[in-house]
């Protein structure tokens, strides 16, 4: 083994400089005793993630499908439908759902529907039921596949619709004077909502024939359909028809009876249409008989269901077109007579 030589002498430890002593640490106050902690509850036993994933429905390529057994509805508001955090217009808007979107209704609260947008059974918010239509029952489909194609819109014929032509579509008892005085308000309302082509104009005129044959905005009269003992008590809060109309307060029946060219009826309709046209119909329901406002109400009512109406008319299904406005077949014979006469009378 080699020997290491010529190393310098190591410095003696005693030769190192003196290092001053460290100061004493200050005395710290005693910490208070900790309160005893409450024991944590036992963890909930969750199923394995694999079993959760297996229970979630999904379509081809990951597209969401609707869970079977729950009713599906399609958004019918052309400009989109507001999804709210609760069942009233006072709740904030979470988002706007596009026209044609299919939703699953989980529960109802008055005129509002709690909906699921993802098909997973979770509630996403509330929408007003009047702007969703049932989807025809059948095999589960993806949302994209369920969106309808918009119906075709024809050319503007409003300037070619004269009182004389409309008179030929109505019975002899309908005075030409009434048509001449009121037709401008009807056409102005249609124009304001871009409802200008032959099918939709015929729809408007045929609706007037069924609802207000004298071609005047009028109030609904007392009949066996709305009255049992006192005027319009069948429309009142608590009555079957009253609940369907969204009437919630005593006196709503006579207050929100049918008015105008389209016979707007019920608190729900007065509230929704009033908000859409910017008129206080809920507090001043008699405004629905003002000719200018009545024309806009008629047009807005048709606009709200425009695409469904166009699809029905294009298929020649007048009964369904009438039902979309009336909710039934009241006045269907008069509606059909005027619509068919108009096919030969109006241009387009």
Which domain does 125 fall in, by range? Answer: 69-137
pLDDT by residue for the chain (348 residues), tens digit each? 555 555 555 555 556 567 677 777 777 777 666 666 666 555 544 444 443 334 444 333 333 334 456 788 888 887 778 899 999 888 888 888 877 788 899 988 888 999 988 777 888 999 998 889 887 544 333 333 344 455 567 799 999 999 999 999 999 999 999 999 999 999 999 999 999 999 999 999 999 999 999 999 999 999 999 999 999 999 999 999 999 999 999 999 999 999 999 999 999 999 999 999 999 999 999 999 999 999 999 999 999 999 999 999 999 999 999 999 988 888 999 999 999 999 999 998
Helices 291-304/267-277 angle, 10° precision: 100
Domain annotation covers residue 143: no
Residue 275: name the closest of 77, 76, 94 by CA: 77
State whether 269 and 125 are in the same domain: no
Q: Say if 54 falls within a structural domain.
A: no
Residues 190 and 274 in one domain: yes
* Residues 179 and 308 placed together within one structural domain of the fold: yes
Residues 278 and 171 in one domain: yes
Task: For residue 39, tell me if it sits in a domain.
Answer: no
Chain-centroid distance of CA 214 in Å reads 33
User: Do 129 and 163 reside in the same domain of the chain?
Assistant: no
Are residue 87 and residue 183 in the same domain, yes or no?
A: no
**Model pLDDT, residue 99:** 75
Are residues 172 and 305 both part of a single domain? yes
User: Is 46 inside any structural domain?
Assistant: no
Are 221 and 256 in a shared domain?
yes
124 with 190, same domain?
no
Alpha-carbon span 17 to 58, nearest angstrom: 80
Clarify whether residues 120 and 220 are in a common domain. no
pTM as predicted: 0.60
CATH number at residue 114: 2.30.30.40
Q: Looking at the structure, do residues 132 and 275 belong to the same domain, yes or no?
A: no
**178 and 314: one domain?**
yes
In a domain, 203, yes or no: yes
Closest CA to 189 of 158, 165, 153: 158
Domain annotation covers residue 53: no
For residue 6, is it within any domain? Answer: no
Query: Burial of 259 by CB count in 10 Å (0-12 exposed, 13-18 middle, 19+ buried)?
Result: buried
Taking only the tens place, the pLDDT of each residue in 263-315 is 999 999 999 999 999 999 999 999 999 999 999 999 999 999 999 999 999 99
What's the CATH code of the domain at 206? 1.10.530
Q: Is residue 147 part of a domain?
A: no
Tally of domains in the chain: 2
């Amino acid at each position: 083994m080699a020997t290491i030589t010529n190393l310098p002498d190591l410095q003696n430890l005693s030769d190192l400089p003196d290092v001053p002593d460290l100061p004493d640490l200050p005395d710290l106050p005693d910490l208070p005793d900790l309160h005893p902690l409450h024991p944590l509850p036992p963890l909930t036993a969750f199923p394995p993630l694999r079993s959760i994933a297996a229970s979630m429905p999904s379509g081809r390529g990951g597209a969401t499908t609707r869970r079977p057994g729950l009713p599906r509805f399609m958004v019918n508001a052309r400009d989109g439908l507001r999804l709210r955090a609760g069942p009233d217009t006072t709740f904030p808007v979470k988002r706007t759902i596009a026209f044609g979107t299919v939703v699953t209704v989980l529960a109802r609260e008055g005129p509002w529907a709690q909906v699921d947008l993802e098909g997973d059974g979770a509630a996403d918010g509330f929408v007003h039921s009047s702007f969703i239509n049932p989807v025809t029952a059948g095999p589960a489909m993806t949302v994209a596949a369920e969106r309808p194609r918009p119906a075709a819109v024809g050319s503007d014929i409003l300037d070619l619709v004269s009182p004389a032509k409309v008179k030929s579509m109505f019975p002899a008892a309908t005075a030409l004077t009434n048509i001449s005085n009121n037709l401008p308000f009807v056409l102005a309302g249609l124009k304001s909502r871009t409802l200008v082509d032959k099918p939709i104009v015929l729809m408007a005129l045929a609706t007037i024939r069924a609802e207000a044959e004298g071609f005047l905005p009028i109030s609904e009269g007392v009949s066996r359909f709305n009255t049992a003992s006192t005027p319009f008590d069948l429309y009142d809060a608590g009555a079957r028809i009253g609940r369907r109309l969204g009437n919630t307060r005593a006196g709503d029946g006579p207050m929100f009876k049918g008015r105008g060219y389209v016979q707007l009826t019920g608190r729900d309709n007065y509230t929704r249409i009033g908000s859409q046209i910017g008129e206080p119909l809920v507090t001043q329901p008699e405004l629905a008989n003002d000719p200018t406002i009545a024309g806009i109400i008629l047009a807005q009512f048709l606009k709200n269901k425009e695409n469904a109406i166009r699809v029905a008319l294009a298929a020649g299904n007048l009964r369904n077109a009438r039902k979309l406005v009336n909710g039934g077949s009241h006045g269907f014979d008069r509606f059909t007579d005027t619509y068919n006469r108009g096919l030969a009378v109006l241009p387009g």
